[in-house]
Amino acid sequence: MHLMLSFLFSFLVAILITPGVRTLAKRLDIYAYPNHRTVHEGAVPKWGGGSIMLSFVISAAVLYLASPKLFVGEMGLAISLVAGCLVLFLLGSFDDKFDLNCNLKLSVELAVALAVALAGWRFEVLILPGFAEIKLGFFSYPFTMLWIVGVINAVNMVDGLDGLASGIALVVVAVSSGIAALFNNPVVILFAPLLAGALLGFLRYNINPASIFMGDSGSLPLGFLLALLSLRAATISPGRVAVLVPLLLLCLPLTDTTLAIIRRVRRGIHPFHADREHIHHRLVRLGLSQPGAALSMVGLSLIFGILAFLLAQGMHTDFRFLGQLLP
């Protein structure tokens, strides 16, 4: 009941504050202007992260004040998650306004990733189907940092059509919540409804034709949250992660980003130099409308999400069976 109420509360907060955030973005002159890399027409406010993150953080604070017992044993993870979110929101907000150097952004992302890895959000042992294990040891930290920074930038790059990043994120959050319930990971079960509500409320204003864009103020902390929640959702026991589950969950944005980096490096340009060769751009050039292309990609993400859930369910069943056999 608490979680359903927290979802509804977060949704309502996002619905109510997004128009105000949009107005503030206009006053601060935080706009996305059309250029050779974009597909929208006209100047559109792009500080949607203000709506998503405010809704998420306010709802988390209200949930904690209403039911502090829910956070017992999870406070360290919860605080590091929210703190990392806020740092990346500020970074993205400055980037939306001042267009920061990409190397500076990457440095901050790496620092935040290291901080949360030290706080307990990390891969220590990779569990593969059949329960083969890969122990990472010291490489737990760089592996986790690569995962977090990779997902942050994957979400940032896929945010190219109205409602696309929000829609994919909703799928990832919903499936992560179900997987977390299988493996009994409370911190994901607590935060996933808050993020889902904030995203759904924001999506009301972000579907085509969008009246506000997510911007880096939204895509950076959103990617961070998806990286952490999907990692923790697939944690079978402390530090032991069913690694194919989060990879499947985020397969589409990660594949798109990998192809983009390879494409740009082969052309001798910076891996983070924007272009119009992403999957969603190609779908539009093939003749799909922008809403059609976005819906197609969200639908494909849902298929990957279902596969991830089925894989997690199978591993959960096998894990319980092995637990009964072992002394």
Residues 6 or more apart from 147 whose CB is under 8 A from it? 123, 227, 231, 246
Q: What is the pLDDT of residues 260-305, one digit of tens each?
A: 999 999 998 888 888 888 999 999 999 999 999 999 999 999 999 9
Cβ contact 135:143 at 8 Å = no
Looking at the structure of the chain, the number of domains it has is: 1
Is it the case that residue 181 has pLDDT exceeding 50?
A: yes
Q: What is the pLDDT of residues 144-175, one digit of tens each?
A: 999 999 999 999 999 999 999 999 999 999 99
Is it the case that residue 2 has pLDDT exceeding 80?
A: no
* Average confidence (pLDDT) over 13-38: 91
Q: What is the pLDDT of residues 70-114, one digit of tens each?
A: 999 899 999 999 999 999 999 999 999 999 999 999 999 999 999
- Could you give the dihedral angle defined by the CA atoms of residues 169, 171, 177 and 181, in that order, rounded to the nearest 10 degrees? -150
pLDDT at 321: 43
Distance from C-alpha of 119 to C-alpha of 233, rounded to nearest angstrom: 16
Tell me the CA distances in angstroms from 245 to 74, 106, 128, one per residue in order.
Answer: 22, 26, 9
Residues 6 or more apart from 123 whose CB is under 8 A from it? 136, 140, 143, 144, 147, 231, 239, 241, 243
Q: pTM, whole model, 2 decimals?
A: 0.95
pLDDT at 65: 94
From the CB of residue 221, how many other CB atoms can be counted at a distance below 10 Å? 30
Domain span at 55: 2-325
Dihedral sign of CA atoms 306, 307, 308, 311 in order: positive
The token duo for 61 is: 């604070």
Q: Is the peptide bond before 209 cis (omega within 30 degrees of 0)?
A: yes
